[in-house]
Structure 1
Amino acid sequence: MKKLIFLLIFVLLACETADDVVREATIEVPPPTVVVSVPVTEVVSDPIYPDDPVRELTILYTNDEHGWMEGVREGLGAANLVGTWRNQFGYEPGLDSYLLLSGGDMWTGPAISTWFEGEGMVEVMNQMGYTAAAIGNHDFDFGLEALRARATEANFPFLSANTRRTSDGQVPTEWGIEPFVVVESNGVRVGIIGLTTTRTRTTTNPANIVDFEFIDYETAVREFLPEAQAQGAELFIVIGHLCEFEMRDLAARIPDLPVAIIGGGHCNELFAEEQDGAILLAGGSHMATFAGANLTFDTSTDELLSADYGTDYTDDRVTENEAVAAVVARWQAQTDEELEVVIGYTEAGFEQRSAEQQALITETWLWAMPTAVIALTNMGGFRADLRAGEITFGDVVGVFPFNNVLVSVELTGAQIVTLLTRSNEQLAVGGLGEVHGRWFLHKTGEVLEDDTTYTVLVNDFMYAGGSGFGRLAEWDPAGYNTAVDWRQPLIDWLVAQDSSPSETVDAAVGEWLER
């Protein structure tokens, strides 16, 4: 596995509360029956009613898990989620009257997931008993080799019917991507079709998907639903890394197709509604919330007789699934072993995307590479707070989880102002100040001149056109890839401060902001 190696200069070692409930209907779980059709970690037998064509299925849906197997706070992790499913819905891994589905973005988040390129998250989801997952834009973050490795390790398929090779328009199955899967659940053959956001090209590193395109959702569903039917599917579910407006648009376009459920993701939304004959489910994010649906299906007529659906996280979340908890604990121990080296201290901490956190990245770039005078980075890469107290390698990786490197470009003052005023995403800016609408350089005090060329540091995601920054490469086609990891200057700076619990880095960060 590719690992990031930090080269430290001075030492030898070198990305709503659960009390509120949104609920459209109550999910009642009937006595389940079992015909095991997907790999599971434990098979639990339950009654079989072979003569009854009416079957009950329960859908449990998450999305945008982003590697938060431990939970964004105590009681909201993967083990607690499975405990909640057991308490509320009778779920146990291995019962095939339940379908566990993900809308994608399974990793890229805290260090426990990011450092191992999602490997631990896949093992956790295996233990939880997931049936299938859509591929999200961030599932490409570690490159195609890593995606294929995770697909090989998973006991469930990674689905995307609209991801295509630009060379021939086919789904790139050689990278572990499948358009759909047909599984048997409680005697019902269920066709599950996956979709990936069409905005993936600008929301993961474009270098990871150079031969890929992401076609229209409706086109992909209409292409593969008949293939799933030909394989015997009776009930159809679409799981997609799609925002609510895209889910609604898709539902409005395919009312003639027998799609019972459209699942979403990408925008971290939490809802369960019906539109144009389809149930729309979105499970929130970070494994803190989920959506669900209980379906009653007649296998003799292929008719969906009833559907109760909603979102629910009212359980106290104190019950853990021990097997899942054990997997999480093992990965946390491995993370601690590799990343829990203390490199600094902060008294107050630095909130996600705060001015202080922005300065930590951009100003340390300029500190490490003094030939540059300006640093710009998209704030989509700032994924968490940097909490008060000790700062470790793992903290830095968790706050800034993407594996980007620095690129040095030569831009005119006019081009820089265009980026600052017209970018689609808010930028963190280092080396520049603004007074009465005019920008000036911190290093020299000089006013930014339209026709003067300046050395600017950006990340390779931006330079490759991510988040709509395609003009960077147009303006400077010869941008220099420094091969320096974007987190490395921050790590080196933290070590150089030689901070302690009594003398933290807060004051130094404050000085940057006072200029």
Structure 2
Amino acid sequence: MILSFKRAATAVAGGVIAASLMVSAAMAEPTRITFLHFNDLDRIAPKDAKGGFAPLMTLLAQERARAEHSVTTFGGDLISPSLMSGLTKGSQMVELMNAVGTDVAVVGNHEFDFGPEVAAKRIAESNFPWLGTNVLTQDGGQAVGTKPYHIMEAGGFKIGFFGLVTPETPFLSSPGEGIKFPELVATAKKAVEDLKAQGAEIIVGINHIDFADDRKLAAEVPGIHLLLGGHDHIPVNLVEHDVTLAEAGSQAHYLNVVQLDVEWVEKRGKKKLDVLPTWSVISTRGVVGEPTVQKIVDGHMNKLDQEMNVEIGVSETELDTRRSTVRSTESNFANLIADALKDETKADVAMTNGGGIRGDKTYDAGHKLTRKDVLSELPFGNVTVKLELTGDQLWQAVEHAVSKVEDGAGRFSHYSGMTMTYDPAKPAGERVSEILVGGKPLDKAKLYTLATNDYVANGGDGFKMFKESKHLIDKAAATLMATTVINYISEKGTIAPKVEGRISAQ
């Protein structure tokens, strides 16, 4: 599938088409520079026939062959949060980025998921520069091997790149106390000045920030020609304030091909750079993978299959993941999951829905758990998020969780850090009689933090009350839920989860 707009700059954002500028017939033939952009890619292979490095490489090769001058850019979030990267700390991702011929990238918040030392190691392994214009040590130097700027020449023009990552990174990931992330607008203004002083003619920002912040840069920072984004996981192209903005979704589902026709013209005796954008948004759905990159991917996937059988811990108690249990009563395996979520996020309370536990089996006491066991129980690829919500919202959620217990609905939930008592004979919405958080009665006016999965946090299984809560760790910054549980079991070595009265039916 190709969304192609060859004669006008057209915006695509969830199907929204924006108006465009037309080329003046009187102008001389400009130089065309093609930017091949993708972002937010942590999986190496296709899923549901979309994405993956090998199909992406097929598209890159095609577009490079068509373009006289091309630059391949990446908008951040590479080395996490996939299950594979949980084992390798993202080394395979850099190998594949090198293989597809990346020219320049910006760090994303997920580059810091394993700490600044791992981020620095992955950056050092890269055959391309990682930008981090606002990724600084406390004394103002560049952190973890990032570069403030990058200048390259294409078609006789000097292109100057800067790259910004969200200032929320310390709250979304683990960069450590030694790194600071200065404010975006002031940093971008200085970047434009510095790049122009170094002779750059075309100014490009590759940013891993909220798209709203990219739009703010376009409005408030003069001199930028192109902003290539990441972080929001949306495919979008538009022109605002004479600045072209583009993002490519996530997981290499799309390659965003942005073409800038550039030339110097004289207007009223002054020399001015004229820039006209066009673009194509190309899907990888069903694209056959490029053989060389496919071979690298296959090697890593085969290794992952072997590593899935690696033992991570032993359970001293029988574990129960049967559908009839996890959807109707307290389960010691569900307690284990909730404990892992709470431990990782340091939330007041954790909650996991029974419908997300899919093994439908028991494990004998003494069973040696493997990574594959956890993945078979949590197969949906959900991630661990953290919310801030009122006690009243939490009470509503617990009421909702038992509102269809008699039907075995997947909304039935399990908890860590709290206990609840309910009467299944009462009408739905009136069943919960007591909730204790940390041993104390829930205060409906108080703010609590809750760890759960992104499906529930986004209103799945009918948990609409969570959509109104504040996201402290959102999907873009989260860890794969299966990885959360695997790490928890691995750290303990031996586990003995019990049914201990967290859920009581009267």
- Normalised to the residue count of structure 2, the TM-score between the two structures is 0.64
1:327 aligns with 296
Gap change, CA 1:247 and 1:449, over 3 Å in 2: closer
Q: Kindly report which structure 2 residues correspond to 1:281-296, keeping only aligned pairs within 5 A, or say none.
A: 281-296=246-261
In the alignment, residue 129 of structure 2 is paired with which amino acid?
A: P
Following TM superposition, by how much is the alpha carbon of 1:392 offset from its aligned partner in structure 2, in angstroms?
5.2
**C-alpha distance in 1, partners of 2:150/2:286?**
32
1:217 aligns with 184
1:172 aligns with 142
Gap change, CA 1:513 and 1:491, over 3 Å in 2: farther
**C-alpha distance in 2, partners of 1:137/1:441?**
35
Tell me, yes or no, if the aligned pair for 2:391 and 2:442 is still in contact at 8 Å. Answer: no
2:38 alignment partner, one of 41, 53, 62: 62
Gap change, CA 1:330 and 1:440, over 3 Å in 2: same
1:336 aligns with 305
1:101 alignment partner, one of 63, 70, 73: 73
Please state whether the residue corresponding to 2:214 is helix, strand or coil: helix
1:25 aligns with 5
Q: Kindly report which structure 2 residues correspond to 1:438-457, keeping only aligned pairs within 5 A, or say none.
A: 438-440=433-435, 448=441
**C-alpha distance in 2, partners of 1:68/1:361?**
27
Q: Kindly report which structure 2 residues correspond to 1:112-261, keeping only aligned pairs within 5 A, or say none.
A: 112-165=84-137, 167-168=138-139, 170-173=140-143, 175-205=144-174, 208-254=175-221, 256-257=222-223, 259-261=224-226
Following TM superposition, by how much is the alpha carbon of 1:216 offset from its aligned partner in structure 2, in angstroms?
1.8
2:349 aligns with 376
Tell me, yes or no, if the aligned pair for 1:355 and 1:513 is still in contact at 8 Å. Answer: no
Tell me, yes or no, if the aligned pair for 2:76 and 2:207 is still in contact at 8 Å. Answer: yes
Q: Does 1:275 align with 2:240?
A: yes
After superposition, what is the alpha-carbon deviation per residue over 1:471-504, rounded to whole angstroms, capped at 9, x for unaligned?
xxxxxxxxxxxxx97535557999989xxxxxxx
State the identity %. 20
In the alignment, structure 2 segments of 5+ residues that lack a partner are 9-27, 266-270, 313-318, 362-368, 398-412, 423-429, 444-448, 453-469, 474-482
**C-alpha distance in 1, partners of 2:166/2:194?**
22
Gap change, CA 1:303 and 1:59, over 3 Å in 2: same
2:60 aligns with 85
In the alignment, residue 82 of structure 1 is paired with which amino acid?
A: M
Gap change, CA 1:318 and 1:395, over 3 Å in 2: farther
Gap change, CA 1:285 and 1:346, over 3 Å in 2: farther
Tell me, yes or no, if the aligned pair for 2:210 and 2:231 is still in contact at 8 Å. Answer: yes
Q: Does 1:433 align with 2:433?
A: no
**C-alpha distance in 1, partners of 2:328/2:165?**
33
Q: Kindly report which structure 2 residues correspond to 1:2-41, keeping only aligned pairs within 5 A, or say none.
A: 23=3, 25-26=5-6
Tell me, yes or no, if the aligned pair for 1:376 and 1:428 is still in contact at 8 Å. Answer: no
After superposition, what is the alpha-carbon deviation per residue over 1:323-380, rounded to whole angstroms, capped at 9, x for unaligned?
21122122223323323348999898xxxxx999x995644465999xxxx973489x
1:475 aligns with none
Following TM superposition, by how much is the alpha carbon of 1:69 offset from its aligned partner in structure 2, in angstroms?
1.2
Following TM superposition, by how much is the alpha carbon of 1:204 offset from its aligned partner in structure 2, in angstroms?
1.0
Tell me, yes or no, if the aligned pair for 1:362 and 1:375 is still in contact at 8 Å. Answer: no
In the alignment, structure 1 segments of 5+ residues that lack a partner are 1-18, 29-51, 349-353, 405-414, 451-455, 460-465, 470-483, 498-507
Gap change, CA 1:312 and 1:514, over 3 Å in 2: farther
**C-alpha distance in 1, partners of 2:309/2:415?**
29
Following TM superposition, by how much is the alpha carbon of 1:418 offset from its aligned partner in structure 2, in angstroms?
8.6
Following TM superposition, by how much is the alpha carbon of 1:132 offset from its aligned partner in structure 2, in angstroms?
1.4
Following TM superposition, by how much is the alpha carbon of 1:154 offset from its aligned partner in structure 2, in angstroms?
0.5
In the alignment, residue 124 of structure 1 is paired with which amino acid?
A: L
1:311 aligns with 281
**C-alpha distance in 2, partners of 1:157/1:457?**
38
Tell me, yes or no, if the aligned pair for 2:130 and 2:147 is still in contact at 8 Å. Answer: yes
**C-alpha distance in 1, partners of 2:485/2:285?**
40
Following TM superposition, by how much is the alpha carbon of 1:243 offset from its aligned partner in structure 2, in angstroms?
2.0
**C-alpha distance in 2, partners of 1:60/1:243?**
20
Please state whether the residue corresponding to 2:117 is helix, strand or coil: helix
Tell me, yes or no, if the aligned pair for 2:32 and 2:68 is still in contact at 8 Å. Answer: no
**C-alpha distance in 2, partners of 1:434/1:326?**
55
Gap change, CA 1:85 and 1:187, over 3 Å in 2: same
In the alignment, residue 234 of structure 1 is paired with which amino acid?
A: E
**C-alpha distance in 1, partners of 2:157/2:51?**
32
- The alignment of Structure 1 onto Structure 2 pairs a total of residues equal to 395
Tell me, yes or no, if the aligned pair for 2:436 and 2:442 is still in contact at 8 Å. Answer: no
Gap change, CA 1:114 and 1:64, over 3 Å in 2: same
Please state whether the residue corresponding to 1:178 is helix, strand or coil: coil
Gap change, CA 1:355 and 1:365, over 3 Å in 2: same
In the alignment, residue 222 of structure 1 is paired with which amino acid?
A: K
1:501 aligns with none
Please state whether the residue corresponding to 1:124 is helix, strand or coil: helix
Please state whether the residue corresponding to 2:192 is helix, strand or coil: helix
In the alignment, residue 69 of structure 1 is paired with which amino acid?
A: I
After superposition, what is the alpha-carbon deviation per residue over 1:279-324, rounded to whole angstroms, capped at 9, x for unaligned?
11011011112322111222686724422024232x6533211121
Tell me, yes or no, if the aligned pair for 1:55 and 1:297 is still in contact at 8 Å. Answer: yes
Structure with greater strand percent: 2
In the alignment, residue 113 of structure 1 is paired with which amino acid?
A: S
After superposition, what is the alpha-carbon deviation per residue over 1:184-220, rounded to whole angstroms, capped at 9, x for unaligned?
2343321111000121121113xx3212222221111
Tell me, yes or no, if the aligned pair for 2:59 and 2:255 is still in contact at 8 Å. Answer: no
Gap change, CA 1:283 and 1:341, over 3 Å in 2: same
After superposition, what is the alpha-carbon deviation per residue over 1:410-435, rounded to whole angstroms, capped at 9, x for unaligned?
xxxxx994995799xxx983353365
Please state whether the residue corresponding to 1:184 is helix, strand or coil: strand
Gap change, CA 1:150 and 1:447, over 3 Å in 2: closer
Gap change, CA 1:270 and 1:493, over 3 Å in 2: same
2:231 aligns with 266
Following TM superposition, by how much is the alpha carbon of 1:234 offset from its aligned partner in structure 2, in angstroms?
1.6
In the alignment, residue 288 of structure 2 is paired with which amino acid?
A: T
CA RMSD, Structure 1 to Structure 2 (Å): 4.9
**C-alpha distance in 2, partners of 1:489/1:276?**
49
